[in-house]
Amino acid sequence: MSATDTAGDSAETTAPKGGRVRRGEEFEAEIETLAYGGRGIARRDGYVVFINGGLPGDKVRAVVTKSKKGYAEANTIEMVTPSPERLPDTDVHQDEACPGAPWQALPYEKQLEFKEGQITSALSRIGHLEGFSLDPIVPAEEQWRYRNKVEYSFGEQEGQLVIGFHPRGRWDQVLDIEDCHLSSEATNKAKNDVLDWAKGEGLTAYDPRDHRGVLRNLIVREGMRTGQVQTRLVTSVANFPKPPVDLHTTIDGPSGGTTGPTGVLGEEFLREKIFDLNIQLSHDSFFQTNTLMAEKLYGVAAEFAGLSGAETLFDLYCGVGTIGLSMASQAKHVYGLEIVPGRDQERQAERDPEQHHQRQVRRR
């Protein structure tokens, strides 16, 4: 996705301006607002620059990583004057704020204000809607330790194997992460256990530049209601001892993805519970990454639906089917429609019919 896509409507990026900066150039700027995705927006004589690591009110020194006719992208290299509202970072890895939490130094109430502004702008300027009102954003119950899925990358630093996230804007590097505050202690332990095993076996990280090395990614999922932790190791095709994970995916070739032939070494499915619904998730099934807020979201959807028990409910693009199934007790019929093959909606509906209150649930 391009910078203009992620900008929402917080900035115009259509015409070159006199303040255009060039790749490799360093400059100082004050961050005005935030783009969708978390980057700061600054302007130089009308020319828009998207800056990683900057929050509204910050004055930063940045280096340009990409320069286009209508906009540029840059990384913060020095905080010249922090915003008066800036808070100390909570989740820091190797002296860098966690790439998965770019807004963490912004008070949560301010985060919600910016998100509401981005939604309003998108509806009015992209959707051309007028005269609408927004309900207040439902705030998160927990700001840390809430993610039920984390995807890590393997890398190397000074010849040592590490596992973590790519720094923002630098896909050729990997931060060494001991404990990410976005995920639980159990998830972090599972990640560290796999890393210790890999180091003990002398395995190396896959390098996308020369296509050498074995280890690519580790995906850790957690049933927040069940306590189950499931691990899936993604590697190049190679011979090595059996890894201590539940699933092993192999990728032959330069693909940067995590999809490939997958063997089962432990638990094939992740068990989770939403309301009174017991579900099983295959490794490629989509599920909201915040279990508690998924329940909040489904509750709002049910409230808006206002079902009386006589309706036929169609859950479009249903994925694993949790939204429709969570409302099954309030509808006469529920149909889940999904165009992506290999999903496990049918198993969810048929595995335990009692939990669906004997309502008719079908998958199409």
- Digit-coded pLDDT (tens) for 296-353: 999 999 999 999 999 999 999 988 889 999 999 999 999 999 887 655 554 554 455 4
Fold of 1-137: OB fold (Dihydrolipoamide Acetyltransferase, E2P) (2.40.50)
- Rounded to two decimals, what is the model's pTM? 0.85
Cβ–Cβ under 8 Å, residues 298 and 315: no
* Helical spans, DSSP H, in the chain: 3-6, 108-121, 185-201, 291-305, 322-326, 345-351
Using CA atoms, how far apart are residues 322 and 348, in angstroms rounded to an integer? 8
pLDDT for 178 equals 92
Residue 209 binned pLDDT confidence (cut-offs 50, 70, 90): confident
pLDDT for 133 equals 92
Cβ–Cβ under 8 Å, residues 348 and 320: yes
Detail the DSSP E strand segments found in the chain: 26-30, 33-34, 40-44, 47-52, 59-67, 71-81, 92-93, 96-97, 149-157, 160-164, 215-222, 229-236, 247-251, 262-264, 270-274, 277-281, 312-316, 333-337, 360-363
Using CA atoms, how far apart are residues 251 and 260, in angstroms rounded to an integer? 6
Partners of residue 15 on adjacent β-strands: none
The closest alpha carbon to 60, from 28, 84, 89, belongs to 28
Cβ–Cβ under 8 Å, residues 333 and 359: yes
Say what percent of the chain tops pLDDT 70.
88
For the residues 98-117, what does the mean pLDDT come to? Answer: 93
What residues contact 324, with CB distance under 8 A and at least 6 apart? Answer: 313, 314, 315, 318, 334, 335, 336, 361
Structure confidence by residue, pLDDT tens digits, 35-83: 988 899 999 888 999 999 999 999 999 999 999 999 999 999 999 999 9
Cβ–Cβ under 8 Å, residues 148 and 221: yes
Q: What is the DSSP letter of 137?
A: P
At residue 249, φ and ψ (nearest 5 deg) are -105, 135
What residues contact 217, with CB distance under 8 A and at least 6 apart? Answer: 151, 152, 153, 154, 233, 234, 258
Cβ–Cβ under 8 Å, residues 276 and 130: no
Q: Do domains 1-137 and 285-363 have the same CATH topology?
A: no
Q: Is 80 exceeded by the pLDDT of residue 9?
A: no
The full set of domain ranges for the chain reads: 1-137, 149-268, 285-363
Long-range contacts from 136-139, C-beta under 8 angstroms, 24+ separation:
137/112, 138/293, 138/296, 138/297, 138/300, 139/108, 139/112
Looking only at the bridges linking them, the beta strands covering 312-316 and 262-264 are unpaired
CATH no., domain 149-268 = 2.40.50.1070
Sheet holding 40-44, edge to edge: 26-30, 59-67, 71-81, 47-52, 40-44, 33-34
Cβ–Cβ under 8 Å, residues 328 and 286: no
Tell me: domain 285-363, CATH 3.40.190.10, correct?
no
User: What is the C-alpha radius of gyration for the chain, rounded to an integer number of angstroms?
Assistant: 23
